[in-house]
Structure 1
Amino acid sequence: MGAALDAVLYVETVAEAARDQGARGEFVSRLAGAISSVTATHPLRVAVDGPPASGKTTLADELAVVLRAHGRDVIRATIDDFLVPRAQRYRRGRYSAEGCYFDAHDRAALCRVLLDPLGPGGDRRFRHAVFDGATDTPLSPPASTAAADAVLLFDGVFLLRPELFDRWDLRIFVSVPFEQTVDRARDRSTAVTGSTADTADIERSWRERYIPAQELYFAAARPTDRADIIVHNDQLDRPTWEVRPH
Structure 2
Amino acid sequence: MRLEAITWERLTDALAERIATMPAKDGGPWLRVALDGAPAAAPGALAGRLAEALRLRGRAVHKAGTFGFLRPASLRLEYGREDPDAFHDEWFDRQALWREVFQPLDPGGSGRVLPDLWDPVADRATRSARTELPPGGVLLLHGPLLLGHWFPFDLSVHLKLSPAALARRTPQGERWTLPAFARYEAETRPEEAADVVVRADDPRRPAWSGLL
What is the TM-score normalised by the length of structure 2? Answer: 0.89
Distance 1:73 1:67, change over 3 A: same
Q: Distance in 2 between matches of 1:153 and 1:57?
A: 9
Which of 174, 177, 188 matches 2:162? 177
Match of residue 193 from structure 1: none
Are residue 240 (structure 1) and residue 195 (structure 2) matched?
no
Match of residue 42 from structure 1: 29
| Native 8 Å contact 1:43 1:149 kept in 2 | yes
Over residues 184-206 of structure 1, what are the superposed CA-to-partner deviations in whole Å (9 max), with x where a residue is unaligned? 233xxxxxxxxxxxx4xx2xx31
Runs of 4+ in 1 over 6 A off after TM superposition: none
Which of 215, 223, 227 matches 2:182? 215
1:121-140 to 2 correspondence within 5 Å?
121-140=108-127
After TM superposition, the structure 1 stretch with the greater mean CA deviation from structure 2, 110-119 or 215-224, is 215-224
Higher helix share: 1
Q: Distance in 1 between matches of 2:155 and 2:107?
A: 14
Q: Distance in 2 between matches of 1:178 and 1:37?
A: 35
Alignment coverage as a number of residue pairs: 209
SS of 2:32's equivalent in the other structure is strand
Q: Distance in 2 between matches of 1:172 and 1:24?
A: 13
The one-letter amino acid paired with 1:181 is L
Using the TM superposition, give the Cα deviation of residue 243 of structure 1 relative to its aligned residue in structure 2, in angstroms. 4.8
Using the TM superposition, give the Cα deviation of residue 183 of structure 1 relative to its aligned residue in structure 2, in angstroms. 2.3
Over residues 145-164 of structure 1, what are the superposed CA-to-partner deviations in whole Å (9 max), with x where a residue is unaligned? 211110111101111123xx
Using the TM superposition, give the Cα deviation of residue 97 of structure 1 relative to its aligned residue in structure 2, in angstroms. 1.1
Which of 130, 137, 142 matches 1:150? 137
Compare relative contact order (CA 8 Å, sep 6+) and give the higher one, 1 or 2: 2
Distance 1:183 1:215, change over 3 A: closer
Q: Distance in 2 between matches of 1:226 and 1:24?
A: 22
Q: Distance in 2 between matches of 1:140 and 1:172?
A: 29
Unaligned runs of 5+ in 1: 1-13, 187-198
- Give % identity: 30
Unaligned runs of 5+ in 2: none
Q: Distance in 2 between matches of 1:236 and 1:217?
A: 22
Match of residue 87 from structure 1: 74
> How large is the Cα RMSD of the aligned pairs?
2.2
Q: Distance in 2 between matches of 1:227 and 1:120?
A: 23
| Native 8 Å contact 2:98 2:151 kept in 1 | no
SS of 1:57's equivalent in the other structure is helix
Distance 1:90 1:109, change over 3 A: same
After TM superposition, the structure 1 stretch with the greater mean CA deviation from structure 2, 145-154 or 24-33, is 24-33
Q: Distance in 2 between matches of 1:111 and 1:180?
A: 32
SS of 1:53's equivalent in the other structure is helix
Q: Distance in 2 between matches of 1:75 and 1:60?
A: 10
Using the TM superposition, give the Cα deviation of residue 244 of structure 1 relative to its aligned residue in structure 2, in angstroms. 8.2
